[in-house]
Structure 1
Amino acid sequence: MKRNIVFLLAVALLCCYTSTAQRKKQSKNTAVFSNVIYNGDDQIYKNNPLKPDEFYTPILQGCYPDPAITKKGDDYYMVCSSFAMFPGVPIFHSKDLVNWTDLGGVLNNVSEFNPHDTGISAGVYAPGITYNPHNDTFYMIVTAFSGGLGNIIVKTKDPMKGWGSPIKLDFGGIDPSIFFDENGKGYIIHNDAPDKGKELYEGHRVIKIWEYDLSTDKVIPGTDKIIVDGGVDLSKKPIWIEAPHLYKKNGKYYLMCAEGGTGGNHSEVIFSSDNPKGPFKPSSNNPILTQRYFPKDRANKVDWAGHADLIQGPDNKYYGVFLGIRPNEKDRVNIGRETFILPVDWSGEFPVFENGLVPMQPKLKMPAGVTNKTGKDGFFPNGNFTFSENFTSKKLDYRWIGLRGPRENFSTLSKKGLEITPFEVNIKEVKPTSTLFYRQQHNTFSFTATVDFKPQSEKDLAGIVCLQNERFNYVFGITKKGNDTFIVLERTEKGQSKIIASSNIKITNSLRLQVKAAGDNYEFNYAANGVDFQTLGETVSGDILSTNAAGGFTGALVGLYATAANDAHP
């Protein structure tokens, strides 16, 4: 007990020291942002207006990949990957699978989950969430690629009230999920490498199962077993069997997994068994969801569909949530992997995603008796929408996120707006940045912000950043050179930066900054008088904001950025 107290005191002192050290590295030259407007304007939604009994898919636009879902009564909870964004593992609540409320992030204590030195595509990803009726407890399980955590589980009786501390689990691999049988027994399934010396080809993976001790929250040593080797048909060398979920229906066990890798060959496949530890037999009609068979140049393309989870809806019909992408006209993936939903036909032995094996459409029929309230009454919006933010609320909207650390470490709400006290860190460093981020949610959008900032030196900059990762981004802001104030646009590709355009400006009042995108074409505009916008430089390509160019797993982020370590010099 004494050792625990000493350890906790040491952790508290370390956190206090870290927080104090970070504050010392912050500039006192605060940037104030106000009147921020994000406007999404994709043509697909104009061409496909909703009827009263319809809703749009994706249900979560922007970088919300790897969805997992559970329910208690008529309350549905869904989690997604967040990588190095903070807080970790965004969570949403719904009563009907159509209208969702953003509850923030599950991992919101930086002393327990701290991705401060993590590349943007690491952090945490591929969560699972399961409600256990036997002990009235929710379990969220995920792989954490930071702080030496590995696979962890957190628990709560009520996701509305927060979660417990992470519990480390003693196994390797990724993409864990947890299953509770009707007899109360617990199991964990996950993706792993084949046994040593048995890897047959690159991308060869296996699905493992462990028995799980609910009383100790540990896997039971020696109970692990490989239940799928390679995928549906090992002779065809399938790659990346992953994201497993286990279900039970009519006395049989069903194991659903992604196969083919997160990309153009992505799919969802399913197996059945009479025992949770197998042997598992693949369905004869696999895959049960994919978009890989269709022309690459098809209109309104949805692609990369897979990494799914199943749930019974309010009409007792099954639904599946999964990730997919909507590339722009140059087939570039700037928005990232989003959360889609489709009804599932499980009238036969195996489930099949309805219209999941034909080119996907943007609209669905709502479950019986549901009213579409997306974008109203606090529900998360989808389709085309405008998000306006004056930072006048007492609480910051959960759509605003930090990178590698809490947003509260650098931002405060005041009567003036959002005040960002800059870190001595710029956007290209793998450290927490003083940037408040918003996910890009449309291929055609504008993001406009008012900023009040007087740079004192060339080290000071405040403005907007469009970020795919630390090595691929645009910085657009105001800085100092000599006695003059400049507005600059910098492009960073593969870690190499160059100034695209700059202009000497006189700022007598608030400055309006805007990024405007139409597919692959991005413009950076400013209005020194707050009204009349002019473009800095010319239209530029959004190529570096795509995963095609930058790699990784995230979508583009747009951020309110301030730094005391600026290196974008006009």
Structure 2
Amino acid sequence: MIEIRNPFLPGCHPDPSICRAGDWYYLVCSTFEYLPGLPVLRSRDLVRWETVGHVIDRPGMLDLDGIGSSGGLYAPTIRYGLGLFWVACTLVDREDPARGGNFLVTAADPAGPWSDPVMIDAEGIDPSIAFDDEGRVWLHGTRLARAPEWHDQTEVWVREYSPDERALVGEEHVIWRGAVRGAVWAEGPHLYRIDGRWFLVAAEGGTEFHHAVSVARAEEITGPYIGDRANPVFTHRNLGRTSDVIGAGHADLLQAPDGSWLAVMLAMRAADGRHYPLGRETFLCPVSWEDGWPVFAPGRGRLPRVIPIPWAAGAAPAGSWQPDDRTAGLVAPSDPRWTALRALPAEIATAEDGTWRMPVRATSLQEPSAPSFLGVRQQHADAEARCVLDVRGLAEGESAGIVLRQSERDHVSLVVSRGRAGLRLASEHRRAGETLRRDLGPLAEADDVELTLRGRGYDYVFEHGGVERATADGRDLDASATGGFLGLWIGVFATSAGAEPRGEVRIIRFEYAPARPAPGDR
């Protein structure tokens, strides 16, 4: 029988949301400051996923410039109703709460084009969408409680949305403040109409070790909601720090082709029970119904390693991983893995004859802007990335290299710089906003420079010429150490460090590969 191995979307695929339209399932997840934003994945069987497009994929749809790392596009919801696909999301600037806000986009085809965002006059985060039996649209979301009883108490609101007026209408109803007294961040709410009742599935505890799933139900969408006596109905926090999967939560329910129930949710693989360089990944969880309530991972109480998929027609190719049946080797410019920071990849570089031509920018990786950077998610605990860079176009004072990135404040890079005397190699380790630069000496003048990054669990090694040049510890770079919500990206950058840029770098080749076969990846 075909099986899904968790996480079925490895690497930083947080806050998953899923819907079904016809025979297809569609899934979106958060992308924060990376663009294109909000990938749209589709699958018939939940086993093999294809990237069909992105929701935020045109210049000018949203302005992310100046938004720091782990800000940007938060916790989208995707739904199908009234003949359209809908995505609700939040644009967040953690330094300026007045900037951004909740928005809606729609599309007749989930591959796009998506409409320009319609901003919604509702504070908070994590908006979601529900359709009632009369065809009315109900938005709901999370905000800090207006009369809190404890720090970081939140509340879930619901209100009707008028597609004609493109605005919220009617009375607002506060329907939930968390299942556990004292629990923080009741968030990620989703409402479902199931067997004549309305069910609310929400996260609480914060998207970290104490993350959990809670459930409530009501006769009317506006409430009153009664919580499940078993709340929180699902969490990994009770497993303690010996569990190598932590932080399970932010669930979205779906019904499988055979009528059974499942949920997608995020969790983190943490070999030491604390640190998770790959970030929050997307897992699948079986769900059953007992006494009118959903039971997550029945009989187990934890996310399974593998889930049998009896309706799947065939397995993904051996050695591949999802989405897009990815395999080890070349990441071509046409590959949907490529992302840039606060700009689209095509705004940063030009694809030419199987390579990227990337003009140098004055902006550096330390600034919350749009530097010359193209990168991909690290999707495996043991992985290797190799780039070949044509550095002939670098002007004096400019540099380029390979980087392992968490944020502006935390990243490690191996850097090739052009000075008056020629090329030099250096390492830069930026931690908590402080940069330690180590000069590694001159390089022989050459057209191309090959740089390699190898990751083995928490240990990273940067190499040039087959020689170790720098190291990094993933426990210093993950979100639990640095603060924020992202996993690690591996990419190529170029900068003139504030001077007027004159040169360019060409990415001749970029390769990514798991260091062990994908099915055995930890």
Pairwise CA distance, 1:458: 5.3
Q: Which residue of 146, 149, 156 corresponds with 1:200? A: 149
User: Does residue 360 of structure 1 match 2:298?
Assistant: no
Deviations 1:512-561 (A, max 9, x none): 1101111121110012xxxxx11114x43223321122110111111111
Q: For the residues of structure 2 that align with 1:330 and 1:507, how far apart are their CA atoms?
A: 46
1:12-411 equivalence runs, <5 A: 52-132=1-81, 135-145=82-92, 148-195=99-146, 198-221=147-170, 223-229=171-177, 231-233=178-180, 236-298=181-243, 301-329=244-272, 331-354=274-297, 358-373=301-316, 380=323, 386-389=327-330, 391=332, 396-411=334-349
Deviations 1:457-516 (A, max 9, x none): 553111101110000001212112431311111100111111245121104342211011
Pairwise CA distance, 1:157: 1.3
Pairwise CA distance, 1:418: 1.6
Q: TM-score, normalised by structure 2?
A: 0.90
Pairwise CA distance, 1:205: 0.8
Shift of the 110–163 alpha-carbon distance from structure 1 to 2, 3 Å rule, reads same
User: Does residue 550 of structure 1 match 2:482?
Assistant: yes
Pairwise CA distance, 1:281: 0.4
Deviations 1:377-429 (A, max 9, x none): 996268xx7432263xxx62111101111111121122262211111111111
The residue number in structure 2 matching 1:448 is 386
Shift of the 360–312 alpha-carbon distance from structure 1 to 2, 3 Å rule, reads closer
Three-state SS of the structure 2 residue aligned to 1:220 is strand
The residue number in structure 2 matching 1:502 is 440
Pairwise CA distance, 1:347: 4.7
The residue number in structure 2 matching 1:25 is none
Shift of the 199–390 alpha-carbon distance from structure 1 to 2, 3 Å rule, reads closer
Shift of the 367–219 alpha-carbon distance from structure 1 to 2, 3 Å rule, reads farther
**Is the 2:267–2:280 contact (alpha carbons within 8 Å) kept by the matching residues of 1?**
yes
Pairwise CA distance, 1:188: 0.9
Report how many residues are paired. 495
Deviations 1:150-198 (A, max 9, x none): 1110011111232111111111111110100111111111111222xx2
Q: For the residues of structure 1 that align with 2:24 and 2:62, how far apart are their CA atoms?
A: 27
* Percent of aligned positions that are identical: 29
Q: For the residues of structure 2 that align with 1:110 and 1:356, how far apart are their CA atoms?
A: 48
Relative to its length, the structure with more strand (as a share) is: 2
**Is the 1:457–1:479 contact (alpha carbons within 8 Å) kept by the matching residues of 2?**
no
Aligned AA for 1:119? G
Shift of the 390–268 alpha-carbon distance from structure 1 to 2, 3 Å rule, reads closer
Shift of the 261–390 alpha-carbon distance from structure 1 to 2, 3 Å rule, reads closer
The residue number in structure 1 matching 2:505 is none
Deviations 1:333-377 (A, max 9, x none): 210001111121125311111259634332111142432226799
**Is the 1:194–1:205 contact (alpha carbons within 8 Å) kept by the matching residues of 2?**
yes
Deviations 1:35-93 (A, max 9, x none): xxxxxxxxxxxxxxxxx521211111111100111111111111101111111212111
Pairwise CA distance, 1:297: 2.3
Moved more, 427-436 or 347-356: 347-356
The residue number in structure 2 matching 1:18 is none
Q: For the residues of structure 1 that align with 2:125 and 2:149, how far apart are their CA atoms?
A: 19
Structure number with the bigger relative contact order (C-alpha 8 A, sep ≥ 6) is 1
Moved more, 77-86 or 478-487: 478-487
Q: For the residues of structure 1 that align with 2:6 and 2:354, how far apart are their CA atoms?
A: 37
Aligned AA for 1:189? H
User: Does residue 534 of structure 1 match 2:467?
Assistant: yes
**Is the 1:463–1:476 contact (alpha carbons within 8 Å) kept by the matching residues of 2?**
yes
Aligned AA for 1:142? C
The residue number in structure 2 matching 1:468 is 406
Shift of the 477–242 alpha-carbon distance from structure 1 to 2, 3 Å rule, reads same
**Is the 1:374–1:381 contact (alpha carbons within 8 Å) kept by the matching residues of 2?**
no
The residue number in structure 2 matching 1:36 is none
**Is the 1:69–1:321 contact (alpha carbons within 8 Å) kept by the matching residues of 2?**
yes
Q: For the residues of structure 2 that align with 1:214 and 1:224, how far apart are their CA atoms?
A: 17
Shift of the 166–389 alpha-carbon distance from structure 1 to 2, 3 Å rule, reads same
Q: For the residues of structure 1 that align with 2:190 and 2:21, how far apart are their CA atoms?
A: 18
**Is the 2:340–2:348 contact (alpha carbons within 8 Å) kept by the matching residues of 1?**
no
Pairwise CA distance, 1:441: 1.0
**Is the 1:140–1:153 contact (alpha carbons within 8 Å) kept by the matching residues of 2?**
yes
Three-state SS of the structure 1 residue aligned to 2:292 is coil
Q: For the residues of structure 2 that align with 1:534 and 1:365, how far apart are their CA atoms?
A: 44
**Is the 2:241–2:272 contact (alpha carbons within 8 Å) kept by the matching residues of 1?**
no
Aligned AA for 1:167? V
Gaps of 5+ in 1: 1-51, 528-532
Pairwise CA distance, 1:206: 0.7
Deviations 1:281-324 (A, max 9, x none): 001112222111113124xx111000010111111111100010
**Is the 1:546–1:556 contact (alpha carbons within 8 Å) kept by the matching residues of 2?**
yes
The residue number in structure 2 matching 1:46 is none
**Is the 1:468–1:544 contact (alpha carbons within 8 Å) kept by the matching residues of 2?**
no
**Is the 1:503–1:536 contact (alpha carbons within 8 Å) kept by the matching residues of 2?**
no
Shift of the 284–329 alpha-carbon distance from structure 1 to 2, 3 Å rule, reads closer
Shift of the 366–500 alpha-carbon distance from structure 1 to 2, 3 Å rule, reads farther
Three-state SS of the structure 2 residue aligned to 1:448 is strand
Q: For the residues of structure 2 that align with 1:375 and 1:435, how far apart are their CA atoms?
A: 32
Aligned AA for 2:440? S
The residue number in structure 2 matching 1:522 is 460
Q: TM-score, normalised by structure 1?
A: 0.83
Gaps of 5+ in 2: 500-522
Aligned AA for 2:194? K
1:422-461 equivalence runs, <5 A: 422-454=360-392, 456=394, 459-461=397-399
Aligned AA for 1:64? H
Aligned AA for 2:52? L
Three-state SS of the structure 2 residue aligned to 1:161 is coil
